[in-house]
């Protein structure tokens, strides 16, 4: 069996940011407008007013301070409340592909590889811009890669599940230079008019290069193990899909966007993730005290603090479990890879770490790596 390694990683970060304060001003203006329109029904007790959002609540409940987005003007327009991303003609690159190409260029530069050497592109993300042709095949063409490409979706766990698929193909010898790219435009499937979730997500793209370790050109991360698990739950769900036009009254239905029961997710996913990582470590023969770093899914700071403590058996020291969600918010599958990409260069040969993502499905994926 061929030993796989992560030889490069890269992040595309959209220029526009929305701070919690900006977000709350727009949301509260929207709430005031809707409440004024419904004043009679609210007074008669037949409609509930839309309550105001609060920047203090957002920070204390999630740890998020701002998010990057592909378009902020549409999101912050109280009369619109979703991004403005005009359709492109079929001969122009799609938006996800364009984001992906930027992240891939950075990852390939770190790996010291040219795109012509790539023989697999997996576009692993929690939503795709169209049903077909696959975004991954468009990316393959745009970068000038060979081989084959496909899209996959396991919501927040897409990147780690993609790494497992790519690493398995490298292990078996069917590919020699794989890219797992995760362009996430969460802003387009988030319901910005729902105060329970309007603060949660942001946009980004990440990419990793996976190759046989023997081909690595420089410092890299040996992949010692990958493990994926799923367990069905309705607590994070989006009912949008290709059957939309076959059904009545779907246009502005709430469940056409991201829906979650955040409290239940919190309670049910935490034990699942801690047990998953600890089981993966044990079966690989790794002690938790040999870990130098945890690159966790970036949904909620309290959640990560809890998992870090459970996995290490103590409160993580500064830098052992880097968070990026204060700057990026939840970027679905890309979150743990942003943390990995930004906080891994300082590790020394022999240092070990875990990349772990989790979310809708439920799903959890872990990747055990060692600096070499």
What span, in angstroms and rounded, lies between the C-alpha atoms of 95 and 71? 12
What span, in angstroms and rounded, lies between the C-alpha atoms of 173 and 142? 25
What span, in angstroms and rounded, lies between the C-alpha atoms of 329 and 315? 23
Interface with ligand CO8 (CB under 6 A), residue from 113, 195, 227, 352: 195
201 three-state secondary structure: strand
| Residues labelled catalytic | 156
Q: Is 67 among the residues that bind ligand CO8 (CB under 6 A)? A: no
- How many residues are given for the chain? 372
Q: Is 54 among the residues that bind ligand CO8 (CB under 6 A)? A: yes
Q: Is 189 among the residues that bind ligand CO8 (CB under 6 A)? A: yes
Select from 188-196, 211-219, 279-287, 364-372 the region that touches ligand CO8 (CB under 6 A): 188-196
Build a one-symbol-per-residue string for 279-308: x at contacts with ligand CO8 by CB under 6 A, - elsewhere. --------------------xx--------
DSSP, res 136 = H
Q: Is 186 among the residues that bind ligand CO8 (CB under 6 A)? A: yes
Closest CA to 49 of 40, 61, 60: 40
Select from 56-64, 101-109, 162-170, 311-319 the region that touches ligand CO8 (CB under 6 A): 56-64
- Smallest separation (angstroms) from ligand CO8 to the CB of 206: 14
Q: Looking up tokens 């929207």, which residue turns up? A: 30
Instruction: Kindly list the distances between the CA atom of residue 234 and the CA atoms of 76, 192, 264, in Å, as whole numbers in the listed order.
Output: 30, 21, 10
Dihedral of CA atoms 14, 10, 163, 91 in degrees, nearest 10, equals 60
Q: Is 196 among the residues that bind ligand CO8 (CB under 6 A)? A: yes
Residue number of the CB atom closest to ligand CO8: 359
What span, in angstroms and rounded, lies between the C-alpha atoms of 91 and 268? 45
Closest to ligand CO8 by CB, 100 vs 360, is 360
Contact residues for ligand CO8, defined by CB under 6 A: 53-54, 57-58, 61-62, 126, 155-156, 186, 189-190, 195-196, 199, 201, 236, 258, 260, 262-263, 265-266, 299-300, 330, 332, 359-360
């Amino acid at each position: 069996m061929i030993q796989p390694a992560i030889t490069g990683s890269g992040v595309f970060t959209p220029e526009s940011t929305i701070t919690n304060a900006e977000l709350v001003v727009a949301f509260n203006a929207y709430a005031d407008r809707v409440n004024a329109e419904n004043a009679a029904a609210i007074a008669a007790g037949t409609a509930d007013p839309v309550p105001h959002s609060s920047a203090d609540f957002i920070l204390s409940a999630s740890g998020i301070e701002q998010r990057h987005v592909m378009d902020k003007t549409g999101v912050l327009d109280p009369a619109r409340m979703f991004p403005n991303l005009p359709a492109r003609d079929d001969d122009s690159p799609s938006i996800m592909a364009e984001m992906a190409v930027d992240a891939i260029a950075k990852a390939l530069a770190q790996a010291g590889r040219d795109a012509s050497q790539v023989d697999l592109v997996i576009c692993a993300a929690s939503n795709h811009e169209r049903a077909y042709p696959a975004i991954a095949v468009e990316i393959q063409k745009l970068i000038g890669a060979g081989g084959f490409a496909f899209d996959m979706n396991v919501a927040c766990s897409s990147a780690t599940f993609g790494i497992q698929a790519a690493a398995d193909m490298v292990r078996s010898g069917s590919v020699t230079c794989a890219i797992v790219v995760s362009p996430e435009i969460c802003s387009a499937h988030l319901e910005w008019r729902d105060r329970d979730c309007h603060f949660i997500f942001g946009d980004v793209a990440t990419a990793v290069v996976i190759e046989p370790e023997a081909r690595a050109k420089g410092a890299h991360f040996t992949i010692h193990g990958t493990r994926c698990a799923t367990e069905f739950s309705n607590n994070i769900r989006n009912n949008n899909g290709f059957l939309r036009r076959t059904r009545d009254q779907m246009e502005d239905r709430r469940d056409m966007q991201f829906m979650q029961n955040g409290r239940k997710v919190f309670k049910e996913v935490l034990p699942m993730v801690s047990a998953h990582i600890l089981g993966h470590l044990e079966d690989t023969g790794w002690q938790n005290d040999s870990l130098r770093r945890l690159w966790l899914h970036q949904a909620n700071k309290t959640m990560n603090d809890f998992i870090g403590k459970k996995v290490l058996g103590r409160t993580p020291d500064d830098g052992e479990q880097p968070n990026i969600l204060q700057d990026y918010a939840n970027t679905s599958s890309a979150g743990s890879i942003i943390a990995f990409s930004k906080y891994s260069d300082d590790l020394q040969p022999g240092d070990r770490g875990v990349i772990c993502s989790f979310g809708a499905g439920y799903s959890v994926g872990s990747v055990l790596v060692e600096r070499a």
